[in-house]
Structure 1
Protein backbone atom coordinates (compact mmCIF):
# COMPACT_ATOMS: atom_id res chain seq x y z
CA UNK A 1 0.00 0.00 0.00
CA UNK A 2 1.32 3.46 -0.92
CA UNK A 3 2.20 5.06 2.41
CA UNK A 4 2.75 8.46 0.82
CA UNK A 5 -0.80 8.53 -0.56
CA UNK A 6 -2.15 7.44 2.82
CA UNK A 7 -0.24 10.22 4.59
CA UNK A 8 -1.49 12.88 2.16
CA UNK A 9 -5.11 11.74 2.47
CA UNK A 10 -4.74 11.82 6.25
CA UNK A 11 -3.52 15.43 6.12
CA UNK A 12 -6.26 16.47 3.71
CA UNK A 13 -9.40 14.91 5.08
CA UNK A 14 -9.44 11.24 6.18
CA UNK A 15 -8.34 9.42 9.29
CA UNK A 16 -5.41 7.11 8.64
CA UNK A 17 -7.37 3.84 8.67
CA UNK A 18 -10.14 5.41 6.58
CA UNK A 19 -7.51 6.32 4.01
CA UNK A 20 -6.10 2.77 4.09
CA UNK A 21 -9.52 1.23 3.44
CA UNK A 22 -10.38 3.71 0.68
CA UNK A 23 -7.05 3.24 -1.15
CA UNK A 24 -7.40 -0.53 -0.80
CA UNK A 25 -10.88 -0.40 -2.40
CA UNK A 26 -9.57 1.78 -5.23
CA UNK A 27 -6.96 -0.82 -6.02
CA UNK A 28 -9.28 -3.83 -5.63
CA UNK A 29 -12.28 -2.31 -7.40
CA UNK A 30 -15.02 -3.89 -5.30
CA UNK A 31 -14.75 -6.40 -2.50
CA UNK A 32 -16.35 -7.74 0.60
CA UNK A 33 -15.26 -6.79 4.10
CA UNK A 34 -13.18 -9.92 4.65
CA UNK A 35 -10.97 -9.09 1.64
CA UNK A 36 -10.55 -5.47 2.68
CA UNK A 37 -9.64 -6.59 6.20
CA UNK A 38 -7.01 -8.97 4.83
CA UNK A 39 -5.55 -6.31 2.52
CA UNK A 40 -5.31 -3.62 5.18
CA UNK A 41 -4.53 -5.80 8.23
CA UNK A 42 -7.39 -4.07 10.02
CA UNK A 43 -9.88 -6.23 12.04
CA UNK A 44 -13.17 -6.88 10.23
CA UNK A 45 -15.28 -5.23 12.94
CA UNK A 46 -13.23 -2.06 12.57
CA UNK A 47 -13.40 -2.24 8.76
CA UNK A 48 -17.24 -2.22 8.97
CA UNK A 49 -17.11 0.96 11.04
CA UNK A 50 -14.60 2.59 8.68
CA UNK A 51 -16.66 1.71 5.63
CA UNK A 52 -19.75 3.25 7.23
CA UNK A 53 -17.82 6.48 7.79
CA UNK A 54 -16.59 6.45 4.18
CA UNK A 55 -20.18 5.97 3.00
CA UNK A 56 -21.18 9.03 5.04
CA UNK A 57 -18.38 10.93 3.28
CA UNK A 58 -19.73 9.83 -0.12
CA UNK A 59 -16.53 7.95 -0.91
CA UNK A 60 -17.89 4.39 -0.84
CA UNK A 61 -21.06 2.68 -2.11
CA UNK A 62 -22.59 -0.42 -0.55
CA UNK A 63 -24.59 -3.01 -2.50
CA UNK A 64 -26.31 -6.11 -1.13
CA UNK A 65 -25.71 -9.03 -3.51
CA UNK A 66 -27.63 -12.09 -2.41
CA UNK A 67 -27.21 -11.15 1.28
CA UNK A 68 -23.51 -10.42 0.76
CA UNK A 69 -22.50 -6.80 1.27
CA UNK A 70 -20.12 -5.59 -1.43
CA UNK A 71 -18.38 -2.23 -1.31
CA UNK A 72 -17.36 -0.01 -4.25
CA UNK A 73 -15.08 3.05 -4.14
CA UNK A 74 -16.35 6.34 -5.50
CA UNK A 75 -14.23 8.36 -7.92
CA UNK A 76 -11.32 10.17 -6.16
CA UNK A 77 -12.69 13.43 -7.59
CA UNK A 78 -15.28 13.17 -4.80
CA UNK A 79 -12.53 14.04 -2.31
CA UNK A 80 -11.86 17.24 -4.19
CA UNK A 81 -15.56 18.07 -4.25
CA UNK A 82 -15.86 17.38 -0.53
CA UNK A 83 -12.88 19.62 0.23
CA UNK A 84 -14.52 22.43 -1.72
CA UNK A 85 -17.75 21.94 0.25
CA UNK A 86 -15.83 21.99 3.52
CA UNK A 87 -14.07 25.19 2.48
CA UNK A 88 -17.41 26.81 1.64
CA UNK A 89 -18.77 25.79 5.05
CA UNK A 90 -15.75 27.31 6.79
CA UNK A 91 -16.16 30.57 4.85
CA UNK A 92 -19.82 30.76 5.85
CA UNK A 93 -18.91 30.15 9.49
CA UNK A 94 -16.22 32.85 9.34
CA UNK A 95 -18.76 35.35 8.01
CA UNK A 96 -21.25 34.44 10.75
CA UNK A 97 -18.60 34.67 13.46
CA UNK A 98 -17.36 38.03 12.16
CA UNK A 99 -20.82 39.45 12.74
CA UNK A 100 -20.93 37.90 16.22
CA UNK A 101 -17.44 38.98 17.35
CA UNK A 102 -18.34 42.60 18.23
CA UNK A 103 -21.18 41.38 20.47
CA UNK A 104 -18.90 38.86 22.20
CA UNK A 105 -16.31 41.58 22.76
CA UNK A 106 -18.91 43.78 24.45
CA UNK A 107 -19.79 41.16 27.07
CA UNK A 108 -16.17 40.14 27.71
CA UNK A 109 -15.14 40.94 31.30
CA UNK A 110 -11.84 42.76 30.80
CA UNK A 111 -11.30 43.26 34.53
CA UNK A 112 -10.65 39.59 35.23
CA UNK A 113 -8.35 38.67 32.36
CA UNK A 114 -5.43 36.54 33.53
CA UNK A 115 -1.94 37.11 32.14
CA UNK A 116 -1.23 35.18 28.96
CA UNK A 117 1.76 32.92 29.62
CA UNK A 118 3.49 30.82 26.97
CA UNK A 119 6.53 28.55 27.24
CA UNK A 120 9.05 27.91 24.46
CA UNK A 121 12.10 25.71 24.25
CA UNK A 122 14.98 27.47 22.70
CA UNK A 123 16.68 28.43 20.33
CA UNK A 124 13.71 28.45 17.97
CA UNK A 125 11.38 29.53 20.78
CA UNK A 126 13.48 32.57 21.68
CA UNK A 127 13.76 33.58 18.02
CA UNK A 128 9.98 33.34 17.65
CA UNK A 129 9.45 35.51 20.72
CA UNK A 130 11.86 38.19 19.53
CA UNK A 131 10.18 38.22 16.13
CA UNK A 132 6.84 38.77 17.89
CA UNK A 133 8.31 41.70 19.82
CA UNK A 134 8.83 43.47 16.49
CA UNK A 135 5.21 43.05 15.43
CA UNK A 136 3.78 45.54 17.93
CA UNK A 137 3.39 49.30 17.51
CA UNK A 138 6.04 49.72 20.17
CA UNK A 139 9.00 51.86 19.15
CA UNK A 140 11.37 50.78 21.90
CA UNK A 141 12.57 47.44 23.24
CA UNK A 142 14.32 46.98 26.58
CA UNK A 143 16.80 44.11 26.85
CA UNK A 144 19.14 42.69 29.46
CA UNK A 145 21.70 40.13 28.32
CA UNK A 146 23.89 38.26 30.77
CA UNK A 147 26.52 36.16 29.03
CA UNK A 148 27.85 34.76 32.31
CA UNK A 149 24.40 33.51 33.25
CA UNK A 150 23.82 32.04 29.80
CA UNK A 151 27.09 30.13 29.75
CA UNK A 152 26.46 28.67 33.20
CA UNK A 153 22.88 27.56 32.50
CA UNK A 154 22.60 26.84 28.80
CA UNK A 155 25.05 23.95 28.74
CA UNK A 156 25.32 24.05 24.94
CA UNK A 157 27.89 26.42 23.45
CA UNK A 158 26.72 25.76 19.88
CA UNK A 159 23.15 26.82 20.66
CA UNK A 160 24.40 29.78 22.67
CA UNK A 161 26.42 31.00 19.69
CA UNK A 162 23.42 30.46 17.41
CA UNK A 163 21.28 32.61 19.71
CA UNK A 164 23.87 35.40 19.88
CA UNK A 165 24.30 35.39 16.09
CA UNK A 166 20.55 35.78 15.66
CA UNK A 167 20.43 38.72 18.07
CA UNK A 168 23.30 40.50 16.34
CA UNK A 169 22.27 39.78 12.75
CA UNK A 170 18.67 38.88 11.83
CA UNK A 171 17.02 40.53 14.82
CA UNK A 172 19.15 43.64 14.39
CA UNK A 173 18.29 43.99 10.69
CA UNK A 174 14.55 43.47 11.32
CA UNK A 175 14.58 45.99 14.15
CA UNK A 176 16.39 48.62 12.07
CA UNK A 177 13.99 48.11 9.18
CA UNK A 178 11.08 48.90 11.51
CA UNK A 179 13.02 51.75 13.18
CA UNK A 180 12.58 50.29 16.67
CA UNK A 181 15.11 51.54 19.20
CA UNK A 182 16.82 49.25 21.72
CA UNK A 183 18.01 50.02 25.23
CA UNK A 184 20.54 47.32 26.11
CA UNK A 185 21.99 46.40 29.49
CA UNK A 186 24.84 43.92 29.24
CA UNK A 187 27.71 42.52 31.29
CA UNK A 188 29.76 41.84 28.17
CA UNK A 189 32.66 44.18 28.97
CA UNK A 190 34.82 42.73 26.21
CA UNK A 191 32.32 43.68 23.51
CA UNK A 192 30.82 46.84 25.01
CA UNK A 193 33.32 49.22 23.27
CA UNK A 194 32.28 47.79 19.89
CA UNK A 195 28.59 48.05 20.80
CA UNK A 196 28.95 51.62 22.03
CA UNK A 197 30.77 52.60 18.87
CA UNK A 198 27.85 51.43 16.71
CA UNK A 199 25.02 52.52 19.01
CA UNK A 200 23.86 55.46 16.86
CA UNK A 201 24.06 53.47 13.64
CA UNK A 202 22.11 50.56 15.11
CA UNK A 203 19.45 52.61 16.95
CA UNK A 204 20.72 51.35 20.29
CA UNK A 205 21.79 52.75 23.63
CA UNK A 206 24.11 50.44 25.57
CA UNK A 207 25.03 50.44 29.25
CA UNK A 208 27.10 48.04 31.34
CA UNK A 209 25.45 46.11 34.18
CA UNK A 210 27.10 46.73 37.52
CA UNK A 211 28.63 43.71 39.25
CA UNK A 212 25.98 43.66 41.98
CA UNK A 213 23.36 42.93 39.30
CA UNK A 214 25.16 40.19 37.37
CA UNK A 215 22.92 37.36 38.56
CA UNK A 216 19.91 38.61 36.63
CA UNK A 217 18.63 36.39 33.84
CA UNK A 218 18.19 37.44 30.22
CA UNK A 219 15.05 39.57 29.87
CA UNK A 220 13.28 41.38 27.02
CA UNK A 221 10.47 43.92 27.51
CA UNK A 222 8.40 45.15 24.59
CA UNK A 223 5.15 47.08 25.04
CA UNK A 224 3.12 44.80 27.39
CA UNK A 225 5.24 41.70 26.69
CA UNK A 226 7.92 40.31 29.00
CA UNK A 227 10.30 37.51 27.96
CA UNK A 228 12.32 35.72 30.64
CA UNK A 229 14.71 32.78 30.52
CA UNK A 230 14.53 29.93 33.04
CA UNK A 231 17.51 27.93 34.27
CA UNK A 232 15.99 24.61 33.23
CA UNK A 233 17.70 22.15 30.93
CA UNK A 234 16.87 22.52 28.13
CA UNK A 235 16.46 26.23 28.61
CA UNK A 236 12.84 27.39 28.51
CA UNK A 237 11.78 30.90 27.56
CA UNK A 238 8.72 32.26 29.31
CA UNK A 239 6.57 34.81 27.48
CA UNK A 240 4.20 36.80 29.70
CA UNK A 241 1.70 39.21 28.18
CA UNK A 242 0.25 41.47 30.86
CA UNK A 243 0.33 45.26 31.04
CA UNK A 244 0.82 45.73 34.79
CA UNK A 245 3.64 43.19 34.97
CA UNK A 246 5.32 44.76 31.94
CA UNK A 247 5.11 48.18 33.61
CA UNK A 248 6.66 46.81 36.80
CA UNK A 249 9.51 45.18 34.87
CA UNK A 250 10.09 48.40 32.90
CA UNK A 251 10.42 50.28 36.20
CA UNK A 252 12.94 47.71 37.43
CA UNK A 253 14.85 47.98 34.15
CA UNK A 254 14.94 51.78 34.40
CA UNK A 255 16.24 51.57 37.98
CA UNK A 256 19.11 49.34 36.85
CA UNK A 257 19.63 51.55 33.80
CA UNK A 258 20.02 54.67 35.92
CA UNK A 259 22.58 52.87 38.10
CA UNK A 260 24.63 51.57 35.20
CA UNK A 261 27.26 53.28 33.13
CA UNK A 262 27.77 53.67 29.36
Structure 2
Protein backbone atom coordinates (compact mmCIF):
# COMPACT_ATOMS: atom_id res chain seq x y z
CA UNK A 1 0.00 0.00 0.00
CA UNK A 2 2.78 2.42 0.90
CA UNK A 3 4.36 2.14 -2.54
CA UNK A 4 1.01 3.05 -4.13
CA UNK A 5 0.72 6.11 -1.91
CA UNK A 6 4.29 7.09 -2.81
CA UNK A 7 3.53 6.76 -6.54
CA UNK A 8 0.45 8.97 -6.24
CA UNK A 9 2.34 11.55 -4.19
CA UNK A 10 5.06 11.66 -6.85
CA UNK A 11 2.31 12.23 -9.43
CA UNK A 12 0.96 15.26 -7.57
CA UNK A 13 -1.31 14.18 -4.70
CA UNK A 14 -0.59 14.64 -1.02
CA UNK A 15 -0.59 11.76 1.47
CA UNK A 16 -4.22 12.13 2.57
CA UNK A 17 -5.50 12.57 -0.98
CA UNK A 18 -3.65 9.41 -2.01
CA UNK A 19 -5.17 7.43 0.89
CA UNK A 20 -8.72 8.56 0.09
CA UNK A 21 -8.30 7.93 -3.64
CA UNK A 22 -6.96 4.39 -3.06
CA UNK A 23 -9.74 3.66 -0.54
CA UNK A 24 -12.37 4.75 -3.07
CA UNK A 25 -10.79 2.63 -5.81
CA UNK A 26 -10.97 -0.36 -3.47
CA UNK A 27 -14.55 0.31 -2.34
CA UNK A 28 -16.07 1.41 -5.61
CA UNK A 29 -19.10 3.69 -5.27
CA UNK A 30 -19.53 4.45 -1.58
CA UNK A 31 -20.23 6.93 1.19
CA UNK A 32 -17.84 9.30 2.92
CA UNK A 33 -18.31 7.28 6.12
CA UNK A 34 -17.14 4.06 4.45
CA UNK A 35 -14.25 5.89 2.78
CA UNK A 36 -13.28 7.34 6.15
CA UNK A 37 -13.13 3.89 7.73
CA UNK A 38 -11.17 2.42 4.82
CA UNK A 39 -8.63 5.24 4.62
CA UNK A 40 -8.17 5.61 8.37
CA UNK A 41 -8.99 9.32 8.28
CA UNK A 42 -11.58 11.15 10.35
CA UNK A 43 -14.92 11.74 8.63
CA UNK A 44 -14.67 15.59 8.55
CA UNK A 45 -11.19 15.28 7.06
CA UNK A 46 -12.45 12.77 4.51
CA UNK A 47 -15.13 15.23 3.33
CA UNK A 48 -12.49 17.94 2.86
CA UNK A 49 -10.21 15.58 0.92
CA UNK A 50 -13.09 14.35 -1.25
CA UNK A 51 -13.90 17.95 -2.10
CA UNK A 52 -10.25 18.56 -3.08
CA UNK A 53 -10.20 15.42 -5.23
CA UNK A 54 -13.41 16.49 -6.98
CA UNK A 55 -11.79 19.83 -7.81
CA UNK A 56 -8.86 17.91 -9.29
CA UNK A 57 -11.26 15.81 -11.35
CA UNK A 58 -10.34 12.50 -9.67
CA UNK A 59 -13.60 11.89 -7.79
CA UNK A 60 -17.23 12.27 -8.82
CA UNK A 61 -20.25 12.73 -6.57
CA UNK A 62 -23.14 10.43 -7.52
CA UNK A 63 -26.12 12.66 -8.40
CA UNK A 64 -29.61 12.13 -6.98
CA UNK A 65 -28.47 9.42 -4.55
CA UNK A 66 -30.51 9.11 -1.33
CA UNK A 67 -27.26 9.00 0.63
CA UNK A 68 -24.33 11.09 -0.59
CA UNK A 69 -21.96 8.78 -2.44
CA UNK A 70 -18.72 9.14 -4.35
CA UNK A 71 -16.85 7.23 -7.04
CA UNK A 72 -13.22 7.45 -8.17
CA UNK A 73 -12.23 8.08 -11.74
CA UNK A 74 -10.00 5.36 -13.28
CA UNK A 75 -6.29 5.70 -12.37
CA UNK A 76 -5.29 5.75 -16.05
CA UNK A 77 -7.15 9.05 -16.42
CA UNK A 78 -5.28 10.44 -13.42
CA UNK A 79 -1.87 9.50 -14.83
CA UNK A 80 -2.78 10.70 -18.32
CA UNK A 81 -3.69 14.08 -16.83
CA UNK A 82 -0.43 14.14 -14.85
CA UNK A 83 1.57 13.41 -18.01
CA UNK A 84 -0.26 16.19 -19.85
CA UNK A 85 0.52 18.65 -17.05
CA UNK A 86 4.19 17.65 -17.23
CA UNK A 87 4.23 18.00 -21.03
CA UNK A 88 2.71 21.47 -20.77
CA UNK A 89 5.11 22.50 -18.01
CA UNK A 90 8.15 21.30 -20.00
CA UNK A 91 7.32 23.81 -22.72
CA UNK A 92 8.75 26.42 -20.35
CA UNK A 93 12.06 24.51 -20.04
CA UNK A 94 14.01 26.42 -22.74
CA UNK A 95 13.11 29.77 -21.17
CA UNK A 96 14.02 28.52 -17.68
CA UNK A 97 17.36 27.21 -18.99
CA UNK A 98 17.99 30.60 -20.58
CA UNK A 99 17.50 32.26 -17.19
CA UNK A 100 20.01 29.85 -15.66
CA UNK A 101 22.58 30.52 -18.40
CA UNK A 102 22.18 34.27 -17.93
CA UNK A 103 22.77 33.91 -14.20
CA UNK A 104 25.79 31.65 -14.67
CA UNK A 105 27.38 34.01 -17.20
CA UNK A 106 27.17 36.96 -14.81
CA UNK A 107 30.44 37.99 -13.16
CA UNK A 108 30.69 37.02 -9.48
CA UNK A 109 33.21 38.85 -7.28
CA UNK A 110 34.00 37.37 -3.86
CA UNK A 111 36.10 38.90 -1.06
CA UNK A 112 37.84 36.76 1.58
CA UNK A 113 39.60 38.00 4.72
CA UNK A 114 41.54 36.47 7.60
CA UNK A 115 43.14 33.03 7.82
CA UNK A 116 39.82 31.22 7.46
CA UNK A 117 38.96 33.40 4.49
CA UNK A 118 42.31 32.65 2.85
CA UNK A 119 41.69 28.93 3.31
CA UNK A 120 38.28 29.28 1.69
CA UNK A 121 39.77 31.27 -1.19
CA UNK A 122 42.64 28.84 -1.82
CA UNK A 123 40.42 25.77 -1.84
CA UNK A 124 37.55 27.47 -3.72
CA UNK A 125 35.89 24.97 -6.12
CA UNK A 126 39.09 22.93 -6.06
CA UNK A 127 37.39 19.57 -6.58
CA UNK A 128 35.80 20.95 -9.76
CA UNK A 129 39.26 21.79 -11.13
CA UNK A 130 40.57 18.22 -11.27
CA UNK A 131 42.81 17.47 -14.26
CA UNK A 132 43.04 21.15 -15.22
CA UNK A 133 45.72 23.87 -15.23
CA UNK A 134 46.42 26.66 -12.75
CA UNK A 135 48.64 29.36 -14.19
CA UNK A 136 49.62 32.78 -12.96
CA UNK A 137 51.96 35.23 -11.35
CA UNK A 138 53.11 34.18 -7.89
CA UNK A 139 54.26 36.40 -5.03
CA UNK A 140 57.80 36.46 -3.66
CA UNK A 141 56.70 35.13 -0.26
CA UNK A 142 59.20 36.52 2.26
CA UNK A 143 57.76 37.51 5.62
CA UNK A 144 54.68 35.27 5.46
CA UNK A 145 53.48 33.66 8.68
CA UNK A 146 54.22 30.02 9.40
CA UNK A 147 50.49 29.29 9.56
CA UNK A 148 49.98 30.62 6.06
CA UNK A 149 52.96 28.70 4.69
CA UNK A 150 51.48 25.53 6.20
CA UNK A 151 48.19 26.39 4.48
CA UNK A 152 49.99 26.91 1.16
CA UNK A 153 51.71 23.54 1.54
CA UNK A 154 48.35 21.90 2.28
CA UNK A 155 46.91 23.55 -0.84
CA UNK A 156 49.80 22.26 -2.94
CA UNK A 157 49.26 18.71 -1.65
CA UNK A 158 45.56 18.88 -2.56
CA UNK A 159 46.45 20.37 -5.95
CA UNK A 160 48.71 17.42 -6.74
CA UNK A 161 46.06 14.96 -5.56
CA UNK A 162 43.55 16.57 -7.95
CA UNK A 163 46.09 16.47 -10.79
CA UNK A 164 46.00 20.24 -11.28
CA UNK A 165 49.12 21.25 -13.17
CA UNK A 166 50.90 24.40 -12.04
CA UNK A 167 52.70 26.84 -14.27
CA UNK A 168 53.65 30.38 -13.43
CA UNK A 169 56.04 33.27 -13.12
CA UNK A 170 57.52 34.13 -9.75
CA UNK A 171 60.31 36.40 -8.47
CA UNK A 172 63.69 34.71 -8.28
CA UNK A 173 64.54 34.78 -4.58
CA UNK A 174 66.26 32.28 -2.26
CA UNK A 175 63.01 31.92 -0.32
CA UNK A 176 61.03 30.98 -3.45
CA UNK A 177 63.69 28.52 -4.61
CA UNK A 178 63.67 26.78 -1.22
CA UNK A 179 59.85 26.69 -0.99
CA UNK A 180 59.50 25.23 -4.49
CA UNK A 181 62.12 22.57 -3.79
CA UNK A 182 60.68 21.70 -0.36
CA UNK A 183 57.21 21.21 -1.87
CA UNK A 184 58.43 19.13 -4.83
CA UNK A 185 56.28 20.89 -7.40
CA UNK A 186 55.49 18.65 -10.36
CA UNK A 187 55.86 21.44 -12.89
CA UNK A 188 58.59 24.04 -13.15
CA UNK A 189 58.10 27.55 -11.87
CA UNK A 190 59.55 30.24 -14.11
CA UNK A 191 61.82 32.45 -12.05
CA UNK A 192 62.39 36.00 -13.28
CA UNK A 193 64.74 38.66 -11.92
CA UNK A 194 63.46 40.84 -9.09
CA UNK A 195 64.04 43.97 -11.15
CA UNK A 196 61.43 42.66 -13.62
CA UNK A 197 58.92 41.21 -11.18
CA UNK A 198 58.86 41.61 -7.40
CA UNK A 199 55.18 41.42 -6.46
CA UNK A 200 54.04 40.42 -2.98
CA UNK A 201 50.56 39.67 -4.36
CA UNK A 202 49.72 36.50 -6.30
CA UNK A 203 47.35 36.26 -9.24
CA UNK A 204 46.43 32.82 -10.54
CA UNK A 205 44.09 31.81 -13.32
CA UNK A 206 41.95 28.68 -13.56
CA UNK A 207 39.43 27.63 -16.19
CA UNK A 208 36.62 29.08 -14.07
CA UNK A 209 37.94 32.10 -12.19
CA UNK A 210 40.80 34.46 -11.38
CA UNK A 211 42.15 34.64 -7.83
CA UNK A 212 44.14 37.58 -6.41
CA UNK A 213 45.70 36.85 -3.02
CA UNK A 214 47.62 39.11 -0.65
CA UNK A 215 48.84 36.74 2.04
CA UNK A 216 50.50 39.56 3.99
CA UNK A 217 47.20 41.40 4.46
CA UNK A 218 45.23 38.13 4.62
CA UNK A 219 42.88 39.19 1.85
CA UNK A 220 41.86 37.53 -1.39
CA UNK A 221 39.50 38.35 -4.24
CA UNK A 222 37.99 35.85 -6.66
CA UNK A 223 36.53 37.01 -9.97
CA UNK A 224 34.36 34.19 -11.27
CA UNK A 225 33.87 34.66 -14.99
CA UNK A 226 35.29 32.43 -17.72
CA UNK A 227 35.71 35.33 -20.15
CA UNK A 228 37.72 37.28 -17.58
CA UNK A 229 39.81 34.17 -16.91
CA UNK A 230 40.40 33.83 -20.64
CA UNK A 231 41.62 37.42 -20.89
CA UNK A 232 44.13 36.91 -18.07
CA UNK A 233 45.35 33.70 -19.74
CA UNK A 234 46.13 35.71 -22.86
CA UNK A 235 48.06 38.25 -20.78
CA UNK A 236 49.97 35.40 -19.13
CA UNK A 237 50.88 33.92 -22.52
CA UNK A 238 52.10 37.30 -23.78
CA UNK A 239 54.37 37.66 -20.73
CA UNK A 240 55.63 34.09 -21.12
CA UNK A 241 56.72 34.93 -24.67
CA UNK A 242 59.09 37.50 -23.19
CA UNK A 243 60.57 34.93 -20.82
CA UNK A 244 61.01 31.96 -23.10
CA UNK A 245 64.17 30.86 -21.33
CA UNK A 246 63.79 31.91 -17.69
CA UNK A 247 65.40 30.10 -14.80
CA UNK A 248 63.25 27.12 -13.95
CA UNK A 249 63.09 24.87 -10.91
CA UNK A 250 61.79 21.36 -11.38
CA UNK A 251 61.63 18.52 -8.88
CA UNK A 252 64.70 16.32 -8.71
Question: Highest CA radius of gyration, 1 or 2?
Answer: 2
TM-score, with structure 1 as normaliser = 0.48
